[in-house]
Amino acid sequence: MRIKILVRLKGQILEPQGKVIEQSLNSLGFTEFSNIRHGKLIELDLPDNISKEEKAQKIDSACKKLLVNDIIEEYEVLG
Amino acid sequence: MSFKSAVITFPGSNCDRDALCYLKDLTKGEVHNIWHEETSLPKVDLVILPGGFSFGDYLRSGAMASKSKIIDEVVKHANDNRYLLGICNGFQILTEIGLLEGALIRNKKLKFLGKNCFIKKKFKNNFNLSIKDNQILQIPVAHNEGNFYCDTETLNLLKNNEQIAFEYCKGEFSNTEENINGSIEAIAGITNKKKNVLGMMPHPERAYSDFHQSQDGRLIIESLIS
């Protein structure tokens, strides 16, 4: 199964890339776009036969050990 | 007794040679260069995690290097109350290991900063003993992720425990912006609670020789040896 993990900077942390993207979009005429935040998506495969609990446990452990720095980032498993 | 030291090299380190020369020239003692896949570390007084772009800065700066085989030995070295200095990428690695608080995020203005900067010491520790209060040091920086961040609770801890070693400041003869990268409270370097581990963004190993613009970086090694 394909797993998608969305990693983003926590809300209170300044995210300068999003600000620059927002300025560019606004100058291209997308003036309705605001509060843009830029994050990252990590995709990976896990075997289909693993249980839901094991899947959740493995993803959580991988995020805590390497994929996410919980001082500055938060994550969400999509789908 | 001679001062012994070591520099760890990761794939993508690019200041390891500078750090080796810095130690050889200033300590006059034994200096080892250790590859990150090694699983043992000689007993030395100081270990430097050098600057660079370890593992291409993939995922987050310092994240991959913090999981290298040698890191267990580096942590043991620090737990043994011996000195550990992380410079630039080395500072990022130390926060990723968890030996130092906080994290280094993108510079506020999104620019890679490669220039001289000015710092002064905030709280006294063995790394800055030879530096006078309010003495302004000129030391180069070269980083993209040097913006120090931590939450308010951690910041209070850093202050109460006097863990802030260096802060950015204005140079005597320069209009350089005071807080070059947007760091909280202009923090340029912090120590752990025991003050035997220092992480700093500026590069003292690029400011010690006659051919460097400044020799202020000498003061860190001189402090440790004194």
B5-225 in CATH: which number?
A: 3.40.50.880
Q: Is the pTM of this model over 0.80?
A: yes
Per-residue confidence (pLDDT) for residue A14, from 0 to 100: 87
Nearest residue of chain A to residue B101 (CA atoms): A71
Distances, alpha carbon A20 to alpha carbons A36, A40, B182, in Å: 9, 16, 16
Closest CA to B61 of B204, B157, B199, B194: B199
Whether the CA torsion B41, B42, B48, B53 is positive or negative: it is negative
DSSP string, B118-184: EEEESS--TTSTTSPTTPPEEEEEEESS-EEE--HHHHHHHHHTT-EEEEE---TT----SSSS--G
Per-residue confidence (pLDDT) for residue B178, from 0 to 100: 83
Catalytic residue of the set B15, B88, B117, B169:
B88
Residues of A in contact with B60 (CB under 8 A): 69
CATH number of residue A74's parent domain = 3.30.1280.10
ipTM: 0.86
Q: How many domains does chain A have?
A: 1
Taking the C-alpha atoms of residue B147 and residue B112, their distance in angstroms, rounded to an integer, is 11
Range of the domain at A33: 2-78
| Burial call B7-16: b when 16+ CB within 10 Å, e when fewer | bbbbebbbbb
Catalytic annotation present for B203: yes
Taking the C-alpha atoms of residue B200 and residue B89, their distance in angstroms, rounded to an integer, is 9
- Span B181-209, pLDDT tens digits: 999 999 999 999 999 999 999 999 999 99
| Burial call B46-84: b when 16+ CB within 10 Å, e when fewer | bbbbbbbbbbebebbbbbbbbebebbebbeebbeeebbb
| Closest-CA distance of chain B to residue A76, Å | 16
- Span B128-177, pLDDT tens digits: 999 999 899 999 999 999 999 999 999 999 999 999 999 999 886 665 67
Bridging pattern class, strands B5-9 and B46-49: parallel
